[in-house]
């Protein structure tokens, strides 16, 4: 018997991670076992909660009230450029607008970009949403320069004064992780109803990517180029503006591209607060009226704008050949000539008269109606099966989800005991055969499924997060994540946070499975990648909001639709990073594997996959962040949890709740981000990359 | 080597990286009684990096001074101290007698605009400017008018053999051509002091040799005072008037190419010139017999001079066996040498190593 302890200690040494996680699972079961005697282990006592939302509301309300006059002044000030841009975009005769955009397209990227601009805008014209579209563009046109200037200034500041760098980066992190809806509420109070709120919100949302890219670009300028500027006798300003900024142009253009896309996305989201006849509002309105054909059409207009803006501005960041300026002027002039001709003929058609797709939209509506009527049972079956047998058990556990009218029988505590017993035996067998991590994962899964994510004991979650933090990034990270999660716990938002965690967790899990498999497929089959790649490009260009339209068309409002929308948006990075990671193994490694006699499959499993691990983990990280971003937007079509709270807060102009729930959401995203980054970093170090 | 004729003068220059470098260096020097090696060890023990330790040397007017060392030996750091791209931790650096370590920012800009030029290993060309604009950039900083500076740029572009390429962008040029642009840019303001940081290391061997030859040609006409960094002993021996060899931050030997090859101070320096054909770098005066009783009635006189390399001397007395006279530049008899010894010197030296 004396061999056992030493064997055990050896085992523990070899499986540090597994044994640490085993303790976590043990704590979980302990909480479960002690629930009857000590319910406070399970549920954080209400007496120990602080009314964070009220406090924040009161505190912020005071501050906001103080700044209100300034904000309102700014609001009034901004109404001039807004009105100007609006006038410019809407009252410019449409042939001129189309001509100018086509000409710009030609100048940037030759006939391909020109065609994109021409046909894209013709589509917008034909859709009947020209005026709404131009209103949206006018908002973007005012908010983007603000965001660009702010981003440039912030990026340069962080670069010039290194001690500002880490605070600036922390602020940028917060600006990007706090859900967009969350800061709409205080902005609403500050600036009052109207398009200016959308403008400010989109400028706030779009400035960070610009700032990041400016900073990155400046830092990446070769040190010798900087030194050459010094040795040429340039003053600091000359060095910065004549050498360093121009040398960083490519990276800065990437920032401009991201800034434009973020601004467009946010302008459309901000339509939720209404008050402006723009395209986002149109989508929302038609969605509420269940006119899915129209709403789909309006969504397509947004997609067309997004593609035009994205592709053209992305082209700016690439090395490009110069295109003949005479053609540029020629195209622009053609637009002017057509306008004048039409005007002189007294018949420049009003854009709204040119809508040719209304019939199609109606047809889409009708056929969709027919389709859902015909296949309603099937659609419902898909939905119900997934909801009842997958989503619900994960959310509230088998003990809550297994009911006679869905599963056909009632879950009893005895069944739980049997389940745990079987799991324990299996886990013991696994551990005995050396797969300790597998054993722990099995126990963990069983615990999760029996209890449900939304009803996990707080002690277990906190402890688990702490241990994961320790394994991923050491003591410092462990403390950080526990403190952050603890804040949510005492703020009284815990249940809602767990609900959000559940929905995003399930979506991320589905994305990881499906996306990982697709990425793998794309890595081994170039044909598959040729098909999947444009789909990924497309999904990444579409503003968040538009994802809601198709899922609503088929599955109505509810958690399942939200789940689908989140997955559709968040799956892209998983596919991309998996494919990228698996296909960028250095040639020497592959050659070495081949000459060692490895089959293609062996090479994939033994060489490519381990080498790709850090990249795949980064993809997972992105997927998690995407899922959290979409989670809040999906609140529009019915989710519970923090997203819903944020959305409700917006409706009631409840700043405290909005900010508190937004902060809780940001904390969840931040914790997930740091944990996965930590593991990715650890893998990278282990591989010596 | 009087102060007056020194273009650059380094006195006890230290560059230490790490927190509180200045205080810790002062303390370390205190504790070791000013011994550089001991102080460096003390600093390393505290996790600081003494990248340059107690560097002392002068570069004379018009001299081509090469600093040679392996990567990490501190040579690039040292040239950045001298050009004040880095502020040295301790010491004194004089350029034409002016202490640049205490010079103001404005004065440094002034110096760089008129007196200093620098060439970089990876060229450091501005990617958004044409060749012409790159070369004219230092002149633009001086405030020279556009027409004038483009004209001057053309002159230097022609000097480095890039006629007609002034409209090209750096990305359209080959590595060799890019470095020609770098050289042209550094010469645009006609500086007195010329820093070259491994200018030819990133180029392939053929282009490297070609550029070395052209560089020597340019230097012969311009007579700049040069600090040239390299990790390549052949390049150092070929170009240098004098060489400083660096190791782990310290200068281990300063001398002419012949000194380095023939009288290495330690095994480390000897190891460098191990594969160098001695006869090609050692000169006759290193093996000749001199003194009062020179035999001036020798039968053969192949015309040996003191500054001939052993190889060349050996070639001109191929069929001779008797002692031959050696003369200096002015033709005065200064010593004798036997062909036998000449041959032995180069062979034995190589056998020694």
Q: What angle do CA B226, B196, B245 make, to 5 degrees?
A: 75
How would you classify the pairing of strands B242-247 and B64-68?
parallel
Q: How far apart are CA A440 and CA A427, in angstroms?
A: 7
B67 and B198 share one domain: yes
Does any CB of chain A come closer than 8 Å to the CB of residue B107?
no
Strand partners, B335: B326
How large a percentage of chain A has pLDDT more than 70?
Answer: 96
Residues A582, A605 contacting (CB under 8 angstroms): no
pLDDT tens profile B241-280: 999 999 999 999 999 888 888 888 988 888 887 767 666 6
Supply the pLDDT for residue A225: 94
CB contact under 8 A, A247 and B110: no
pLDDT at residue A1 is higher than 50: no
Average pLDDT over residues B293-318: 78
- Who among A222, A231, A238 is closest to B122 (CB)? A222
Characterise A415 by phi-psi region: left (phi > 0), alpha (psi -120 to 50), beta (else). alpha
Instruction: Return the pLDDT at A276.
Output: 73
Q: How far is B222 from chain A (nearest CA, A)?
A: 19
The last residue of one of the domains, among B246, B275, B304, is B275
Q: How confident is the model at residue A9 (pLDDT cuts 50, 70, 90)?
A: low
**If you count them, how many residues does chain B have?**
353
Cα A364 from Cα A366, distance rounded (Å):
5
B111 and B227 in a single domain? The answer is yes
Q: Do residues A678 and A473 make contact, with C-beta atoms less than 8 angstroms apart?
A: yes
- Token output for A16: 């540090």
| B189 vs B143: CA distance, rounded Å | 11
| Residue B302 located in a structural domain | yes
Segment B198-201 long-range contacts (CB within 8 Å, at least 24 positions apart): B198/B76, B198/B121, B198/B229, B198/B230, B198/B231, B199/B119, B199/B120, B199/B121, B199/B228, B200/B230, B200/B235, B201/B121, B201/B230, B201/B231, B201/B232
In a shared domain, residues B220 and B314: no
Residue B83 contacts A where some CB pair is shorter than 8 Å: yes
CB contact under 8 A, B109 and A246: no
Residue B247 is predicted with a pLDDT of 92
Distance from the Cα of A247 to chain B's closest Cα (Å) equals: 6
pLDDT at B2: 43
Residues of A in contact with B185 (CB under 8 A): 228, 232
Distances (CA, A) of B38 to A451, B35, B53: 66, 6, 11
- Chosen domain end from B275, B295, B311: B275
Query: How confident is the model at residue B317, as a pLDDT?
Result: 80
Q: Report yes or no on B309 lying in a domain.
A: yes
Confidence of residue B179 (pLDDT cuts 50, 70, 90): very high
Beta-strand pair B90-95/B6-17: antiparallel
Look at residue A347 in the predicted model and tell me its pLDDT: 67
Mean of pLDDT values over A59-86: 86
Q: Which whole number is the average pLDDT over A542-550?
A: 84
Contact with chain B for residue A232, Cβ under 8 A: yes
The predicted model gives A133-156 an average pLDDT of 92
The token duo for A477 is 């990270």
Q: Select from B218, B246, B275 the last residue of a domain.
A: B275
DSSP string covering A423-445, please?
HHHHHHHHHHTT-HHHHHHHHHH
Asked if A227 has any chain B CB less than 8 Å from its own CB, the reply is yes
What pLDDT does B25 receive? 92
**Mean pLDDT value across residues A670-688:** 85
User: Domains of chain A (ranges plus CATH)?
Assistant: 11-42+378-490 (no CATH), 54-88+138-290 (1.10.3720.10), 493-689 (1.10.3720.10)
Which region among A35-49, A110-124, A585-599 has the lowest average model confidence (pLDDT)? A35-49
Q: How far is CA A632 from the centre of its chain?
A: 10
Higher pLDDT, A355 or A536: A536
> Is residue A225 less than 8 Å (CB to CB) from chain B?
yes
Q: In this structure, is residue B3 part of a structural domain?
A: no
In this predicted structure, what is the pLDDT of residue A346?
A: 66
User: d(Cα B230, Cα A133) in Å, to the nearest integer?
Assistant: 62
Of all residues in chain B, the one with the smallest CA distance to A226 is B124
Q: Find the residue in A nearest to B139 (Cα).
A: A232
- Is residue B66 in a domain? yes
Interchain proximity B126–A233, CB inside 8 Å: no
Please write down the long-range contacts of A509-516, taking CB distance under 8 Å and 24 or more positions apart.
A510/A563, A510/A567, A511/A567, A511/A570, A511/A571, A511/A574, A511/A623, A511/A627, A512/A574, A512/A620, A512/A623, A514/A567, A514/A571, A515/A571, A515/A572, A515/A573, A515/A574, A515/A575, A515/A578, A515/A619, A515/A623, A516/A574, A516/A578, A516/A616
Confirm or reject contact between A65 and chain B (CB < 8 A).
no
Span B103-118, average pLDDT: 92
> Are residues B212 and B263 both part of a single domain?
yes
Is the residue at B244 inside a domain? yes
Which pLDDT does position A574 carry in this prediction?
94
- The reply to whether B307 and B262 lie within a common domain is no
Q: How far is CA A71 from CA A141, A202, A270, A403, B333, in A?
A: 21, 16, 18, 54, 95
Strand, helix or coil for residue B18: coil
Contact B85 A225 (CB under 8 A): no
Find the residue in B nearest to A225 (Cα): B124
Q: A with B: how many residue pairs have Cβ under 8 Å apart?
A: 66
The domain of B308 spans 278-352
CB contact under 8 A, A232 and B112: yes
Q: Which of A485, A544, A540, A515 is nearest to A669 (CA)?
A: A485
- CB–CB contact B113 A228 (8 Å): no
CA distance to partner chain B, nearest, from residue A318 (Å):
13
Model confidence pLDDT, tens digit, residues A357-388: 777 777 777 887 788 778 778 888 888 888 87
B300 and B249 housed in the same domain: no
pLDDT band at A75 (very low <50, low <70, confident <90, very high): confident
Structural domains in chain B (count): 2
Report the residue of A217, A226, A228 to disrupt the B interface, i.e. the one with the largest count of B CBs within 10 Å: A228
Average pLDDT rounded to a whole number, residues A38-65: 79
More confident residue, B334 or B80: B80
Q: CATH number of the domain at B79, please.
A: 3.40.50.300
On whether both B347 and B199 belong to a single domain, the answer is no
CATH code where residue B317 lies: 3.10.580.10
Do residue B127 and residue A238 have CB atoms under 8 angstroms apart?
no
- The pTM (predicted TM-score) of the whole model is 0.80
pLDDT in tens, A623-658: 998 898 888 888 888 777 888 888 888 888 888 888
Chain A nearest-CA residue for B80? A227
Neighbours of A455 (CB within 10 A): 18
SS3 string of A296-365?
HHHHHHHHHHHHHHHHHHHHHCCCCCCCCHHHHHHHHHHHHHHHHHHHHCCCCCCHHHHCCCHHHHHHHH
- Note the pLDDT of residue A156: 94
pLDDT in tens, B7-33: 999 999 999 999 899 999 999 999 888
What average pLDDT is seen over chain B? 87
Instruction: Give the integer Cα–Cα distance in Å for B325 and B334.
Output: 8
A interface mutation test: which of B137, B149, B156, B186 has the most A CBs within 10 A? B137
B221 with B288, same domain: the answer is: no
Q: Indicate yes or no: CB of B138 within 8 angstroms of CB of A232.
A: yes
Q: Identify whether residues B224 and B86 lie together within a single domain.
A: yes
- The pLDDT value recorded for residue A246 is 92
- Per-residue confidence at B348, pLDDT binned at 50, 70, 90? low
A378 at the B interface (CB within 8 A)? no
Asked if B62 and B223 count as a contact pair (C-beta separation under 8 A), the reply is: yes
Q: Which residue, among A32, A52, A50, A53, has the nearest Cα to A41 in the 3D structure?
A: A32
Strongest mean pLDDT among A44-53, A103-112, A363-372, A508-517: A508-517
Q: Which residues contact A164 (CB under 8 A, 6 or more apart)?
A: A157, A158
Structure confidence at residue B57 (pLDDT): 94
Residue A534, judged by CB atoms within 10 A of its CB (0-12, 13-18, 19+), counts as exposed
B282 within some domain: yes
Question: Same domain for B102 and B207?
Answer: yes
CA distance B41 to B37: 6
Q: Would you call A231 an interface residue with chain B, using a CB distance cutoff of 8 Å?
A: yes
Within 22-81 of B, beta carbons closer than 8 Å to A belong to 80
Mean predicted confidence (pLDDT) in A200-223: 91
Q: What's the residue count for chain A?
A: 689
* Neighbouring C-alpha atoms within 13 Å toward the C-beta of A142: 27
Tell me the residues of chain B between 170 and 199 that have a Cβ less than 8 Å away from chain A: 182, 185-186, 189, 195
Which chain A residues touch B120 with a CB distance below 8 Å?
Answer: 224, 227-228
**B196 and B69 in one domain?**
yes
Same domain, B200 and B345: no
Q: What is the pLDDT of residue A76?
A: 86
pLDDT exceeding 90 applies to what percent of chain B? 53
> Nearest CA to A548 among A538, A560, A536?
A560
> Would you call A413 an interface residue with chain B, using a CB distance cutoff of 8 Å?
no
Ranges A52-61, A479-488, A567-576, B277-286: which has the least confidence:
B277-286
CA distance A108 to A327: 12
Q: Is B137 on the interface with A (CB under 8 A)?
A: yes
CA angle A313, A317, A323 (to 5 degrees): 80
Using 50, 70 and 90 to split pLDDT, how confident is the model at B72? Answer: confident
Q: Are strands B250-255 and B225-230 parallel, antiparallel or unpaired?
A: unpaired
- Positive or negative, the CA dihedral A642, A648, A651, A653 is negative
Report the residue from B123, B128, B186 with minimal CB separation from A246: B128
Residue A276, helix vs strand vs coil: coil
User: Is residue A651 packed enough to be buried (19+ CB in 10 Å), middle (13-18) or exposed (0-12)?
Assistant: exposed
Residue with tokens 């540029």: A328
| A252 contacts chain B (CB < 8 A) | no
Long-range CB pairs of A583-592, under 8 A, 24+ apart, other chains included: A583/A523, A584/A612, A584/A615, A585/A611, A585/A612, A586/A611
Q: Name the residue of chain B whose CA is nearest to A238's CA.
A: B141
With respect to residue B30, please indicate whether it lies within any of the assigned structural domains: no
What residues of B are in contact with residue A231 (Cβ under 8 Å)? 83, 85, 112, 116-118, 138, 186, 195
Chain B interface includes A321 (CB < 8 A): no
Nearest CA in chain B to A227: B85
Compute the distance between CA of residue A576 and CA of residue A367 in angstroms, rounded to an integer.
35
Whether residue B291 is predicted with pLDDT greater than 50 in this model: the reply is yes
Instruction: For residue A238, give the nearest of B118, B124, B141 by CB distance.
Output: B141
pLDDT, tens digit, 9 for 90 and up, residues B151-170: 999 999 998 889 989 899 99
| Highest mean pLDDT of the ranges A89-93, A452-456, A503-507 | A503-507
Say yes or no: A249 contacts chain B, CB-CB below 8 A: yes
H helix runs in chain B, sequence order: 21-31, 36-45, 75-82, 105-114, 131-142, 146-159, 175-187, 205-222, 233-239, 257-262, 267-272, 310-316, 339-352
**Minimum-distance CB partner of A224 among B120, B128, B195:** B120
CB contact under 8 A, B128 and A238: no
Quick check: is B287 in a domain? Answer: yes
- Give A308-349 pLDDT, tens digit per residue: 999 888 888 776 566 667 777 877 778 777 777 777 776 667
Does B144 touch chain A if contact means CB atoms closer than 8 Å? no
Of A230, A235, A243, the CB nearest to B85: A230
Mean pLDDT across A92-116: 87
**HSE-CB of A118 using CA atoms within 13 angstroms:** 14
User: How does residue B351 score in pLDDT terms, banded at 50, 70 and 90?
Assistant: very low
């Amino acid at each position: 018997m004396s061999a056992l302890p030493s064997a055990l200690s050896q085992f523990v040494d070899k499986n540090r991670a597994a044994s640490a996680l085993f303790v976590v699972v043990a704590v979980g079961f302990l909480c479960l076992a002690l629930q009857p005697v000590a319910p406070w282990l399970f549920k954080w006592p209400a007496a120990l909660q602080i009314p964070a939302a009220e406090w924040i509301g009161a505190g912020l309300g005071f501050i906001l009230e103080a700044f209100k006059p300034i904000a309102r002044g700014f609001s009034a000030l901004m109404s001039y450029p807004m009105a100007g841009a609006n006038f410019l975009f809407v009252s410019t005769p449409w042939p001129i607008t189309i001509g100018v955009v086509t000409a710009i397209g030609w100048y940037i990227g030759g006939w391909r970009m020109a065609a994109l601009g021409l046909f894209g805008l013709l589509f917008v014209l034909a859709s009947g949403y020209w005026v709404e579209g131009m209103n949206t563009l006018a908002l973007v046109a005012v908010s983007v320069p603000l965001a660009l200037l702010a981003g440039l200034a912030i990026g340069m500041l962080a670069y010039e004064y290194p001690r500002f760098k880490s605070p600036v980066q922390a602020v940028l992190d917060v600006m990007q992780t706090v859900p967009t809806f969350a800061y709409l509420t205080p902005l609403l109070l500050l600036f009052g109803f109207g398009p200016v709120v959308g403008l400010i919100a989109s400028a706030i949302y779009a400035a960070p990517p610009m700032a990041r890219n400016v900073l990155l670009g400046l830092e990446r300028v070769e040190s010798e180029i900087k030194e050459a500027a010094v040795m040429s006798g340039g003053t600091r300003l000359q060095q910065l503006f004549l050498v360093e900024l121009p040398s960083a142009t490519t990276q800065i253009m990437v920032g401009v591209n991201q800034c434009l896309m973020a601004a467009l996305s946010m302008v459309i989201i901000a339509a939720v607060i209404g008050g402006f006849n723009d395209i986002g509002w149109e989508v929302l309105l038609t969605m509420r009226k269940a006119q899915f054909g129209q709403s789909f059409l309006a969504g397509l207009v947004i997609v067309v704008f997004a593609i035009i803006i994205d592709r053209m501005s992305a082209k700016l960041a690439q090395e490009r050949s110069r295109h003949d300026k005479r053609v540029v002027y020629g195209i622009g002039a053609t637009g002017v000539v057509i306008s004048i001709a039409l005007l002189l003929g007294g018949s420049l058609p009003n854009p709204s008269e040119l809508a040719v797709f209304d019939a199609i939209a109606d047809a889409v509506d009708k056929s969709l109606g027919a389709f859902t009527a015909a296949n309603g049972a099937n659609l419902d079956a898909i939905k119900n099966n997934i909801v009842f047998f997958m989503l619900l058990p994960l959310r509230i556990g088998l003990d809550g989800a297994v009911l006679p009218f869905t599963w056909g029988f009632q879950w009893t505590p005895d069944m739980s005991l049997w389940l745990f017993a079987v799991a324990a035996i299996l886990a013991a067998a696994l551990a005995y055969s050396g797969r300790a991590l597998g054993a722990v994962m099995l126990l963990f899964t069983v615990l999760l499924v029996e209890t449900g994510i939304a009803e996990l004991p707080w002690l277990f979650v906190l402890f688990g997060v702490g241990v994961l933090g320790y394994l991923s990034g050491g003591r410092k990270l462990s403390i950080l994540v526990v403190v952050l999660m603890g804040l949510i716990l005492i703020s009284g938002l815990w249940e809602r946070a767990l609900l959000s965690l559940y929905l995003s967790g399930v979506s991320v899990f589905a994305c990881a499975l499906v996306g990982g498999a697709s990425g793998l497929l794309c890595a081994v089959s170039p044909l598959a990648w040729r098909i999947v790649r444009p789909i990924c490009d497309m999904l990444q260009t579409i503003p968040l909001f538009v994802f809601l339209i198709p899922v609503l068309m088929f599955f109505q409002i509810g958690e399942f639709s939200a789940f689908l929308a989140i997955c559709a948006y968040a799956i892209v990075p998983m596919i991309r990073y998996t494919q990228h990671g698996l296909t960028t193994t250095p040639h020497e490694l592959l050659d070495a594997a081949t000459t060692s006699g490895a089959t293609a499959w062996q090479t994939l499993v033994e060489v490519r996959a381990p080498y790709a691990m850090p990249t795949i983990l980064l993809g997972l990280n992105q997927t998690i962040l995407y899922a959290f971003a979409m989670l809040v937007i999906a609140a529009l079509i019915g989710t519970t949890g923090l997203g819903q709270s944020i959305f409700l807060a917006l409706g009631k102009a409840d700043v405290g709740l909005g900010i508190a729930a937004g902060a809780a959401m940001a904390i969840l995203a931040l914790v997930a981000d740091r944990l996965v980054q930590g593991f990715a970093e650890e893998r990278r170090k282990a591989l010596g990359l | 080597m009087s102060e007056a004729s020194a273009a650059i003068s380094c006195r006890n220059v230290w560059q230490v990286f790490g927190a509180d470098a200045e205080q810790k260096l002062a303390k370390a020097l205190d504790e070791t009684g000013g011994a550089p090696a001991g102080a460096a060890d003390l600093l390393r023990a505290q996790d600081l990096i003494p990248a340059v330790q107690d560097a002392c040397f002068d570069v004379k007017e018009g001299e081509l001074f090469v600093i040679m060392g392996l990567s990490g030996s501190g040579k690039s750091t040292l040239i950045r101290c001298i050009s004040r791209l880095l502020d040295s931790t301790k010491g004194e650096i004089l350029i034409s007698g002016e202490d640049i370590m205490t010079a103001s920012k404005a004065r440094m800009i002034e110096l760089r605009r008129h007196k200093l030029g620098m060439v970089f290993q990876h060229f450091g060309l501005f990617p958004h400017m044409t060749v012409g604009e790159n070369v004219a950039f230092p002149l633009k900083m001086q405030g020279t008018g556009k027409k004038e500076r483009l004209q001057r740029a053309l002159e230097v572009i022609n000097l480095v053999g890039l006629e007609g390429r002034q409209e090209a962008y750096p990305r359209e040029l080959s590595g060799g051509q890019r470095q020609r642009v770098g050289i042209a840019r550094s010469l645009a303001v006609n500086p007195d002091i010329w820093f070259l940081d491994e200018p030819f290391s990133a180029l392939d061997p053929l282009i490297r040799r070609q550029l070395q030859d052209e560089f020597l040609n340019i230097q012969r006409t311009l007579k700049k005072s040069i600090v040239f960094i390299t990790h390549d002993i052949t390049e150092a021996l070929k170009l240098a008037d004098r060489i400083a060899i660096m190791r782990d931050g310290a200068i281990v030997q300063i001398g002419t190419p012949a000194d380095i090859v023939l009288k290495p101070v330690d095994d480390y320096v000897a190891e460098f010139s191990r594969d160098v054909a001695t006869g090609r770098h050692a000169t006759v005066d290193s093996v000749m017999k001199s003194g009062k009783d020179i035999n001036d009635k020798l039968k053969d006189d192949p015309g040996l001079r003191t500054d001939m390399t052993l190889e060349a001397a050996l070639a001109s007395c191929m069929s001779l066996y008797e002692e031959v006279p050696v003369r200096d530049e002015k033709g005065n008899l200064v010593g004798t040498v036997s062909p036998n010894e000449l041959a032995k010197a180069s062979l034995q030296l190589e056998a020694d190593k």
